[in-house]
Amino acid sequence: MTLRVELAIEHWPLLEPFEIAREVMHDLPLIALKLSDNAERTGCAEAAGVDYDGETLASMAAQIDSVAAHLRDDLSGADLLRLMPAGGARNALDCALWDLRAKQADVPAWVSAGLPAPKPVITAFTLGLGSPDDVRRRARAARGLPLIKLKLDAHRHLELLRIVRDELPDARILVDANQSWTARLLSELMDGLIAAGVELIEQPLPRGEDAALAGLRSPIPICADESCTDRSSLPALQGRYQVVNIKLDKCGGFTEALALAHEARSLGFELMVGNMCGTSLGMAPAFLVAQFARWADLDGPLLQVGDRAAAMTFHLGIVQPPETALWG
């Protein structure tokens, strides 16, 4: 029997405009997917896609429609890896399939995946780009949170970082340049980043210019985000990055995320698990992968006006495991 697919286009308003080096977001467009079997059991998932790779809601919906005839009762995550490329469409299908299998077997996804029982994790809270006054206001609102990720670009960097450190003297700080720096600028900023106690630099250089990091002895670990997709991207990152950021939209689902985490660790990379924004439904499978990670960035729901029913619980930077009523 073929699994029934229901797909909806959703837009989730953000609490305020969210700016990074390449764009400003006002709301979050998502595809929401349901996979149902003949017994009316349903698995749910969502995907934001990878906009900088040209993915759109329409392109993801078309991809899903193109494989609908292959979505049969005996489909596995491994089958999806062979059937579709990495990206948001496969992420939605793969995570919905994991949720469906959990409901069919009445066994949580973490058990089926052979993982230990999930524990709460510390998540970063992201401060978007903005004026110094805006960043100071957001930093003050984030007092009490243990881990902050600050978005920077080629022109707005150390001043904003000093503001955040001034307002949050005890917080751990990660910075994310979203491909906007050069190797020279990274070198020029390094002393200031060290002085501010930054513990991770995420994707400083444009994807494709990673070779400039070869042999760099950075005292702060450098994390590949846009440069890390799925397992096929790992060889080119060795000797250039110390950390990889696993996002289910990039790698194409929970199945590949687990495999990517295992292979990256075997190659000596430390792990970060991030998100392309989204609701708790998007964070839930990523949360299980984050059990292996040194850094987790699962704050998507905290940046939005609303969330799903049975939403994940966030309190003072700690996120609790998802309920099976939400996913898995």
Q: What is the 3-state secondary structure (H, E, C) of 220-258?
A: CCEEECCCCCCHHHCHHHCCCCCEEEECHHHHCCHHHHH
For residue 41, give the CATH number of its domain.
Answer: 3.30.390.10
Q: Which of 109, 143, 175 is the last residue of a domain?
A: 109
pLDDT of residue 172: 98
- What residues in the chain have per-residue pLDDT under 70? none
Instruction: Give CA–CA dist 259/190, Å, rounded.
Output: 33
CA quadruple 204, 270, 217, 168: dihedral sign: positive
* pLDDT tens readout for residues 191-247: 999 999 999 999 999 999 999 999 898 999 999 999 999 999 999 999 999 999 999
* Tally of domains within the chain: 2
Catalytic residue among 34, 103, 247, 250: 247
pLDDT of residue 261: 98
Same domain, 104 and 141: no
Same domain, 183 and 82: no
pLDDT of residue 91: 98
In sequence order, the 6+-apart residues with CB closer than 8 A to the CB of 37 are 1, 3, 4, 73, 100, 104
pLDDT of residue 17: 87
**Catalytic (active site) residue 103:** no
Same domain, 288 and 144: yes
How is residue 83 written in tokens?
A: 């059937």
Same domain, 253 and 211: yes
* In a domain? residue 85: yes
Q: Which of 109, 133, 167 is the last residue of a domain?
A: 109
Same domain, 206 and 101: no
* In a domain? residue 328: no
Same domain, 98 and 226: no
**Catalytic (active site) residue 250:** no
Same domain, 142 and 240: yes
Catalytic residue among 103, 149, 151, 250: 151
In which domain, by residue range, is 278 found? 121-319
